[in-house]
Amino acid sequence: MVTASELRPGMALRIDGTLYKVIDADYHGGQGKMGGVAHAKLRNLETGTMREWRFRSGELIEEIMPERQNLQFLYKDEQASYFMHPDTFEQVPVDNARLGRAADFLTVEMTVPVEFLDGNPIGIVFPDIVEVKVADTAPAVHSQGATNVWKEARLDNGLTIMVPPFISPGETIRVDVERSIYVERAKKK
């Protein structure tokens, strides 16, 4: 059991018999006689739907400790993404709804920790920010001064996001996975 003030992104919880994964959590301390409050954005691991919860700071919540296995991503279809155990070659399907937006950023042969609860896959542990190559966008424009103009860019994984005007095709950028937004240019190696 954890208190609501201890909630952190990535934790797995059981609330009223339903499994959830914490996507975002904020704690707001109370003032005077008002107690603190924890706000959490949770993904239902059965349906993939998002829900916002509000907990009292001292409220106890059941934390689930899933087992993690490093599996290799093979492919995905409309319903599931398929992973393979590197030693036994056993294939494990994970519903795309359980993966959330991370399913769009998986690449073939990528190894990721897959979380299991009672032998069933419940999700993956994926970085918050990933590096992705820009497949197509308008030519780069360098202008003086600060502008708030953005342009569409199609990434090599097929997603379309908004990027600043100085980004050109073929560049590698960093993207926030959960919100699918541009963060910055990737550092050159």
Listed residues 76, 106, 124: the one ending a domain: 124
Residue 39: how many CB atoms within 10 A of its CB? 15
Same domain, 41 and 86: no
**What is the separation, in whole angstroms, between the first and last Cα of the chain?**
43
Same domain, 7 and 58: yes
Residue 17: how many CB atoms within 10 A of its CB? 6
* Structure confidence at residue 119 (pLDDT): 82
How confident is residue 43, by pLDDT bands cut at 50, 70 and 90? confident
How confident is residue 141, by pLDDT bands cut at 50, 70 and 90? confident
The answer to whether the predicted template modeling score (pTM) of the entire model surpasses 0.75 is no
Pairing of strands 37-44, 18-28: antiparallel
pLDDT one-digit tens code per residue, 148-158: 788 888 988 88
Residue of higher predicted confidence among 144 and 54: 54
Host domain of residue 16: 2-64
Give the C-alpha separation, 54 to 76, whole Å. Answer: 34
Percentage of the chain lying above the pLDDT 90 cut: 5
CATH number at 78 reads 2.40.50.140
How confident is residue 72, by pLDDT bands cut at 50, 70 and 90? very high
Asked whether the beta carbons of 79 and 85 are under 8 A apart, the reply is no
* Structure confidence at residue 83 (pLDDT): 92
Listed residues 35, 64, 93: the one ending a domain: 64
